[in-house]
Homo-oligomer: A and B are copies of this chain.
Amino acid sequence: MTDPGIGHNQGPEVAESGVAADELKAFIERIERLEEEKSAIAGDIKEVYGELKGRGFDAPTVRKIVQMRKVAADERAEREAILELYMQALGMGA
């Protein structure tokens, strides 16, 4: 094995040839391109929240709504059931 044994596989013949290095570089650039797009979209989302806030809506509440819609309804019901169960056990129940 060419790997001196630091603990992780360092890839195919990185040190010896530039071929694998080029391939690795290509992978990294693809990833960085995608991450850039992802960040841009995250920025867009942030902008939308700013916009709705400017329209008088409460951003945290809207976040909760979005989250709740994303969660499958039955799964949410299950979690609420657990919460209720705990609260009842603690005498905090409604």
Which A residues contact B (CB, under 8 angstroms)? 1-12, 14-15, 18, 20-21, 23-25, 27-28, 30-32, 34-35, 37-38, 41-42, 44-45, 48-49, 51-52, 55-58, 60-62, 64-70, 75, 78-83, 85-92
Residue pair B85, A14 in contact (C-beta under 8 Å):
yes
Residue pair B58, A28 in contact (C-beta under 8 Å):
no
Q: How far apart sit A87 and B9, CA to CA, in the bound complex (Å)?
A: 15
Chain A residues touching B, majority SS: helix
**Chain B residues within 8 Å of A86, by CB:** 6, 10-11, 14, 24, 58, 61-62, 65
Which of B11, B49, B55 meets A56, CB within 8 Å? B11
